[in-house]
Amino acid sequence: MKLTHKYGLLLVVFIVVAMGSPGKIEAEEIDFDNIDMDSSAFDAASAAFKKSIDPYFCTVDKITDPATLNGLSLLQKDLYTHSNLVVSRSIHDMPLFMQTNAGKRCDYDFGIEIDPFYNQTKYMCFVGSSTDIKSYVDFSSTGLLGEAASKVKEFMSDQASKTFNIEEILPLFSNITLEERRAGLYIRLSAYLKNWTFQFAVPVYYQERNFFISEEDQKKIKNVSFLSEQSTGMSEDTAQAIMMKHIVSDKIGLGDMRVHLLYTPYQDDDTRCTVGGFVTLPTAFAFKNGLMGGSFYKHNYIPPFSLEQAFSIICEPDQTVDKNIAVKNSGINYGLRALDHLTEILAETSLGNNGHVGIAPIIECDHIFTRCDNVAIGLAAQASLQGFLPCSEKRAYLVENVPSDFNTRNYKDKDLAKENVAFLDTQLNNILFPTIIDTRVTPGLIFEGNAAFHYDYSECLKAQIGYDFWCRGDESIAMSSAVNGKYDISASKTASAWQQKVFGSIETYFPFCGGDLTTRFGGDVTVASKNIGKDFTVNVLLQLSY
Amino acid sequence: MMSNTYSKLLIVMLLLNMQLSFAFEECAEKNNQLLKEGAPVEYECAVPVEIKHKAITIVDGTPKASIEQLLKLRSDIKKLREGINGTGLIICEGKAYTLNQLVIAEREYRINEKNMPACLNDALTKFEEDSNQYLAQARGFKGVMLDVINQWAEQRGRLDSILLQWGSQPVGTEHAQMRKMITSFVLLDRFLGDLTCFLNDFRFTCKKSTKIFQDYWVQFQKNRK
């Protein structure tokens, strides 16, 4: 009893002493305040610490730990929502170039025509009729970019996060549009033999596609603190020069060749009918790529860069300045390659119809319904239906996410760390780099019809104004069953599209060197469209007929 | 017998309490004295606080938050300021001083004004040598670390700290800029006080790194004995 009492009192004393001890933190076993870290202790501790760090496990741990980055949910999100090509109309299909005027020039044997032209589409359609990139790349706050940005914000101080207003920054990029410009010469050779007309036409032109941010949005982006010249250390001119090589795709070369064979079975003073067909041959090739912008071709190259490398900045015990610079450069290369890949998918396109042979029947009719002195007024109409032979095209595909692949892994197992990093690397690559696969594609049928009122004065002046309708059906994609389930095929299909244009021209004829010289100024403009951008064309015709 | 035991225990308790109160009084006195002398920072930081910055969870447990590195720098700073066991002393006018002594000497004009820059230069060079390794460790993550320092400064009410300006200098120019900013021993002392306070708080916030170090250190001390 006495003993118990005595021990009880001792316990009280110990508690009092322990509670009264100043400067101690209960959870700590050692007194950090009084550790004298001399050189030998430091070297030993440093060596032991370095030995305990496994860069692969550290990487996996930092990415997957819910208390840290909690990045697994991010890696299951998509960056791209689609991977289809954007719809564009062939130069041959422009209404003024569709007009063959067959049969009208039966007085001649031969004609050469050179049309300088300029065609511009200010807003190409990414998905359906949407002209903003947000329909193609997910810029929403719940998408990959939105959530990644929110996560970055989480890892900032209260002060820094106030200036990092991601809700305002992302929409600036989500309004990026795609523009196309084509300028060159449309060259046409014609041969006339009685009621038959043969024509060979080929465009030689410069084609450029680029991403575009409005002036207003550019100003706003310049005002974003972390994108400013001061933060990036890059002048505006340098940034623009770098971007030109990554967001602009341009080339100069020869387009597809179109060969017409037409027969005019009926022709009198007022009416002319022509029937026949044309073949579009895949002769397109570029003389030179990347004149002002970058040179692109669709491929699956991914620069060597892994998450383990990225996290080596914090996880590598012997990280040096040189290694840091190397990681930074690899990261920049990787990011720019991802941007290039987007440009390849959307802006890189051939000068022709991607290697497809097109075959079409065509019918043309022209009727003068009123004549008065030297003036004749008539209506010319034309219709064609073009089908294409299938051929192999390089198409981009999004890899389907399988949540179970993520959820069944043990990220806490150090022995699996290397394998887990490889898995996470693959997921990141799948997000940023849609896979390019050679695919057998059959483009949809193209129907084109146009009609124009024309006013002829004394066979030396002609003016016309007309309406054109162009439409293209759904394409068909053939994928092998081996890869069918792995990729999102529907996201890669290019939608059907239609376009309505009005067009007009003024022509004059002069006698020239024993023949006739025709000059024409004309153009067209889109008045309505679906799933294809609104473009306009201006052209000047110079035709010499003998 | 019982009364004897109680008396002994009572004496022990009284002695302990007296010792503690003396310790507290001594500490408070020293604190007041230093507050008057213009070097209060570390005493405001006696109790570590958790820096509310999630980026620390990224570096926690990695070589970017190695506790031994941090403790080494803190020890070196302490030597510079207090001159433990005759180390870290600054030679000024042929005499060896601790930084704390130089702060007082500066205030009392006991050092020739002409010799001050050379003495300060000596102190700054010593600090640069001590901090080089720590700065090298922070490279590649400096932007984040600066943001962490910002958050710390806000929590500690030290938004005017030279530490913030020092951290915001471009990589490799920190020392040169520090020499422009620190023009007296008082400023150097305040800067080192802030840095010590930050290192303590950073260590306190890095739970994983602390645990790794704790486990190692306990074993290391046992082996040493």
pLDDT digits (tens, 9 = 90+) for A134-188: 999 999 888 888 888 888 888 887 777 777 777 778 888 899 999 999 999 999 9
| Both structure tokens of A305 | 């860069």
Q: Which residues contact B120 (CB under 8 A, 6 or more apart)?
A: B182, B183, B184, B185, B188
Contact predicate A290/A126, CB 8 Å: no
Does any CB of chain B come closer than 8 Å to the CB of residue A11? no
> Å from A339 to nearest chain B CA?
24
Residue pLDDT, tens place only, B44-65: 688 899 999 988 998 898 888 8
| Both structure tokens of A247 | 């967001």
Alpha-carbon distance A446 to A351, whole Å? 18
Alpha-carbon distance A346 to A355, whole Å? 18
Q: Burial letters for A85-96: b for 16+ Cβ neighbours within 10 Å, e otherwise? A: bbbbbbbbbbbb
| Both structure tokens of A366 | 């022209």
The ipTM assigned to this model is 0.70
Q: Where are the beta strands (DSSP E) in chain B?
A: 90-92, 95-97
Does any CB of chain B come closer than 8 Å to the CB of residue A72? no
Angle of CA points A353, A354, A358, to nearest 5°: 45
Q: CB-hemisphere CA count at 13 Å for A431?
A: 21
- For residue A11, give the chain B residue with the closest CA: B9
Does any CB of chain A come closer than 8 Å to the CB of residue B225? no
CB pair distance less than 8 Å for A45 and B84: no
CB pair distance less than 8 Å for A13 and B147: no
Of A520, A523, A501, A381, the C-alpha closest to A452 is A381
Beta-sheet pairing, A271-281 with A248-254: unpaired
CB nearest to A13's CB, from B9, B24, B59: B9
Chain B residues inside the 8 Å CB shell of A319? 63, 139-140
DSSP code, position A54: -
Contact predicate A250/A293, CB 8 Å: yes
> Å from A320 to nearest chain B CA?
8
CB nearest to A319's CB, from B20, B53, B140: B140
- What is the pLDDT tens value at each position of chain A, 546 positions in all? 444 454 544 444 444 333 434 433 344 467 777 777 777 888 888 888 888 889 999 999 999 988 888 889 899 999 999 999 999 999 999 999 998 876 665 566 788 999 999 999 999 999 999 999 999 999 988 888 888 888 888 888 777 777 777 777 888 889 999 999 999 999 999 998 888 999 999 999 999 999 999 888 888 887 776 676 766 677 788 888 888 999 999 999 999 999 999 999 988 888 999 999 999 999 999 999 999 999 999 999 999 999 999 999 888 887 777 888 899 899 999 999 999 999 999 999 999 999 999 999 999 999 999 988 889 999 999 999 999 999 999 999 999 888 888 989 999 999 999 999 999 999 999 999 999 999 999 999 999 999 999 999 887 899 999 999 999 999 999 887 767 778 998 899 998 999 999 999 999 988 877 778 889 999 999 999 999 999 999 999 888 887
Alpha-carbon distance A477 to A392, whole Å? 10
Average pLDDT, chain A: 87
Beta-sheet pairing, A391-399 with A435-442: antiparallel
Pick the residue of B19, B52, B72 with the most A CBs within 10 A to test the interface with A by mutation.
Answer: B72
Contact predicate A401/A76, CB 8 Å: yes
Count of beta carbons in the 10 Å neighbourhood of residue A98: 21
Alpha-carbon distance A260 to A199, whole Å? 5
